[in-house]
Chain A
């Protein structure tokens, strides 16, 4: 019983790789410990947001071209522009098959508003965040109502308004704020403050509440043409709900991501997983990979280990998409950085005080963010003694050579490296 491909890590990188492998008919399993970071993400996919010195990138592919010349070990340089483009198209298509449309501003970045009202560049966004209609409305300087669900503690419209007012994009717009109260389930003992975004999303998903919600929006927004809501207008059929609300209120509805759980991210997570299942992939949640067996430059098996007896899982090819420090893909000791499953060669400083900057918001960011596994141009990593592992590929934030926060490129790297791993494996197996 040997898998064609075992992917360690069920995030954006692992699942993109998984979908591609599964749809080629490879027997693919994704092993995941705990839910992925899409649950805390904005739900927009960043490709390249900021340059080395912190200025905003307008055309991400131009920027990627420029770093390819300078930084050979950047994951984008490993993947190459044609495949990055292909991977993003692939991702957009698969997610769209599952009902989530991702819009892009042709080859340019567009802006999205974050949970605290910062305006940031990104590349792919859901319709409620970026669309040509929204773009035109904001350009024309319409009146915008920034609304919240009364009592909701994971979002503050005042903060959003204060930040937006300082941004040139909104200099012509009049911004007003307001609260809507929602009809919620009867007999609830729950305090309004206890509602999280998912609870509210479920109220939006209850069809019969929609007319009342629409009335509330109309009341609170007054004559504003555009309305922004914290992102909670439904998880599974948000498109339909949004269309209905827009029709009922006659207003344009924009979504702003909230503090976790982020519904915008959740939608992408569900879409990607559904696509993976649909193509026949197996997804194992809550399993931890403890170690691996490596023999002569080949990974022979990985060892699962919850307490009790451990078990070997064998595959022809392995993909390590286990994430960075938070997800346990990388570990930090007192003065060392390591990768726990295969003990791969890792790029990082051994002097602990060089890992970070004393200033949390340092413009140069923190060095540890670019630490990770070193790979060759095929995304094959190597062991501590320098032997390349031919049947192991690495994808996503376990990789070194880039800084997802400073460069604003986490999503793009995850998707493109995940895709490249899949392409490599497919090619090897079909040989």
Chain B
């Protein structure tokens, strides 16, 4: 049966604008593009599920099609749904299993982080992974940190957070928890400067990699866990430093996983939107000039949320930041997509435009909101990538030290 709320494909007027802006269709002819794979084919699939073709697997779910669509068709959602509802794509499952279990892998890896980082970067290991796990040899991996951010918070940071009356819950996500503790510390520094004490509640992976790899039931379980946990946080605000986690918590839970997130939705913001609102309300902490030239790359999922305006708004408030805003291009990694051998060429192909723009801008740093964009850009250009929150923290630094 057709679910009445899911007939946005009927609004498609076949203008094909989405296909013009599809980064994958630009990089390969193997993907017929979002219009054909989404609204066009959906009609056929509803009639007869056999009319599904395997090219759906090329979609990275970057959602640029939905941004381009003048008729508000949920194109990427239609494709994601179809991918897992109709197609039993026989990918290499052990790899996908581990790749999507960021909590499991991250939890293990951080115990022996030094050893893990050493091993996964060994040439022989890379060859083995290439051969047996179909993880591309040339792909570099994010380093794991010692221990989790949650532990660091409990041991060191929690105490200092007690003095604040206004409270914010930080949904740190897997990247901060296992790979980038300093972003978490920067977040706390910035929130404190804005007058908020930061709490952490129990959370599981938001589900983005699970959805991307077809583990929908597991994603639902995680989502339910997070909804329950975040729902119990009273009236404190909730912030996340990951654009994709935020997108999942806000949009994917209700619309794709069909779960009710109303218990927290009004309190949740992607971090730059939260800061933007605070800044606009006049709550601007003193900042010193950073004296940095940076190029800003807008991640696909942040664009889809309509969040770029806030990141730019906040960045432009940082004194002494010479900001080059790069034309909007997909970096190509799309979460776990670019970590798979069968997608590696396409992933790199998609990113070429962005890498060229970055090189042309000649910045000192690249700034972006997304963790996998960060990995992709650091691997393919010579620049270090910073999160907007880190930049604000850098601007705050001296002032705080001066006080002490």
Q: Please give the residue numbers on chain A whose beta carbons come within 8 Å of chain B beta carbons, in ascending order.
A: 1, 29, 31, 33-37, 39-40, 184-185, 187-190, 194, 196, 198-199, 202, 260-261, 266, 277, 282, 284-288, 304, 306-309, 311-314, 326-327
- Contact present for A198 and B309 (CB under 8 Å): no
A-B CB pair tally, cutoff 8 Å: 114
State in angstroms the CA–CA spacing of A185 and B66 once bound together: 27
Which residues 156-193 of B have a CB within 8 angstroms of A?
Answer: none
* Partner-binding segment picked from B82-90, B120-128, B145-153, B310-318: B310-318
Q: Which residue of A lies closest to B33 (CB)?
A: A196
* Partner-binding segment picked from B69-77, B93-101, B374-382: B69-77
Q: Which residue of A lies closest to B314 (CB)?
A: A1
State in angstroms the CA–CA spacing of A311 and B327 once bound together: 24
Known: A1-B276, A190-B32, A285-B303. A198 touches B19 (CB 8 A): yes
* Partner-binding segment picked from B136-144, B205-213, B262-270, B387-395: B262-270
Q: Does B51 contact A (CB under 8 A)?
A: no
In the bound complex, residues from chain A placing their C-beta under 8 Å from that of B276 are 1, 311
Q: Does B305 contact A (CB under 8 A)?
A: yes
State in angstroms the CA–CA spacing of A417 and B273 once bound together: 33
Q: Does B67 contact A (CB under 8 A)?
A: yes
- Contact present for A29 and B309 (CB under 8 Å): yes
- Describe A's contact surface by its main secondary structure: loop
State in angstroms the CA–CA spacing of A41 and B69 once bound together: 16
Question: Smallest CB–CB gap between A264 and chain B, Å?
Answer: 13
Known: A190-B29, A260-B15, A260-B17. A286 touches B265 (CB 8 A): no
Q: Which residue of A lies closest to B15 (CB)?
A: A260
Q: Which residue of A lies closest to B21 (CB)?
A: A35
Q: Which residue of A lies closest to B237 (CB)?
A: A309
State in angstroms the CA–CA spacing of A272 and B25 once bound together: 24
Question: Smallest CB–CB gap between B268 and chain A, Å?
Answer: 6
- 10 A-B residue pairs with CB within 8 Å: A39-B20, A188-B29, A189-B30, A190-B29, A199-B29, A260-B15, A261-B17, A308-B266, A309-B267, A314-B280
- What 8 A-B pairs have minimum CB-CB distances, sorted nearest first? A287-B306, A34-B70, A286-B67, A188-B29, A284-B309, A260-B15, A308-B250, A35-B17
- Contact present for A34 and B71 (CB under 8 Å): yes
Q: Does B279 contact A (CB under 8 A)?
A: yes
In the bound complex, residues from chain A placing their C-beta under 8 Å from that of B245 are none
Known: A1-B276, A40-B15, A284-B308. A326 touches B36 (CB 8 A): no
Question: Smallest CB–CB gap between B388 and chain A, Å?
Answer: 14
Q: Which residue of B lies closest to A286 (CB)?
A: B67
Q: Does B217 contact A (CB under 8 A)?
A: no
In the bound complex, residues from chain A placing their C-beta under 8 Å from that of B14 are 260
- Contact present for A286 and B303 (CB under 8 Å): yes
In the bound complex, residues from chain A placing their C-beta under 8 Å from that of B313 are 1
State in angstroms the CA–CA spacing of A198 and B313 once bound together: 34
Q: With contacts A261-B16, A309-B269 known, what are 5 further pairs, Cβ within 8 A? A: A34-B71, A198-B20, A284-B309, A309-B265, A309-B266
Known: A261-B20, A277-B327. A308 touches B15 (CB 8 A): no
- Contact present for A284 and B306 (CB under 8 Å): yes
Q: Which residue of B lies closest to A3 (CB)?
A: B313
- Contact present for A1 and B273 (CB under 8 Å): no
Q: Does B304 contact A (CB under 8 A)?
A: yes
- Please, how many residues of chain B have a CB less than 8 angstroms from a CB on the other chain? 49
Mark interface residues in B15-47 (1 if CB within 8 Å of A CB, else 0): 111011100011001101100100000000000
- Contact present for A277 and B306 (CB under 8 Å): no
- Contact present for B17 and A307 (CB under 8 Å): no
Q: Which residue of A lies closest to B280 (CB)?
A: A1
State in angstroms the CA–CA spacing of A306 and B269 once bound together: 11
Partner of A277, one of B250, B268, B325: B325
State in angstroms the CA–CA spacing of A314 and B71 once bound together: 27
- Contact present for A185 and B16 (CB under 8 Å): no
- Contact present for A311 and B277 (CB under 8 Å): yes
- Contact present for B21 and A288 (CB under 8 Å): no
State in angstroms the CA–CA spacing of A304 and B32 once bound together: 33
- Contact present for B328 and A309 (CB under 8 Å): no
- Contact present for A285 and B277 (CB under 8 Å): no
Known: A1-B280, A35-B21, A184-B29. A288 touches B306 (CB 8 A): yes
Question: Smallest CB–CB gap between A304 and chain B, Å?
Answer: 6
- Contact present for B30 and A261 (CB under 8 Å): no
State in angstroms the CA–CA spacing of A269 and B250 once bound together: 32
Question: Smallest CB–CB gap between B318 and chain A, Å?
Answer: 12
State in angstroms the CA–CA spacing of A314 and B19 once bound together: 34
State in angstroms the CA–CA spacing of A311 and B309 once bound together: 11
- Contact present for A304 and B69 (CB under 8 Å): no
- Contact present for B325 and A282 (CB under 8 Å): yes
In the bound complex, residues from chain A placing their C-beta under 8 Å from that of B68 are 34-35, 285
Q: Does B319 contact A (CB under 8 A)?
A: no
In the bound complex, residues from chain A placing their C-beta under 8 Å from that of B265 are 307-309
In the bound complex, residues from chain B placing their C-beta under 8 Å from that of A306 are 250-251, 305-306
Q: Does B195 contact A (CB under 8 A)?
A: no
Partner of A286, one of B55, B66, B316: B66
Residue in B67, B277, B328 with the greatest tally of chain A CB atoms within 10 Å: B67
Residue in A31, A39, A326, A327 with the greatest tally of chain B CB atoms within 10 Å: A39
Question: Smallest CB–CB gap between A54 and chain B, Å?
Answer: 27
In the bound complex, residues from chain B placing their C-beta under 8 Å from that of A308 are 250-251, 265-266, 268-269
Q: Does B107 contact A (CB under 8 A)?
A: no
- Contact present for A202 and B26 (CB under 8 Å): yes
- Contact present for B303 and A307 (CB under 8 Å): no
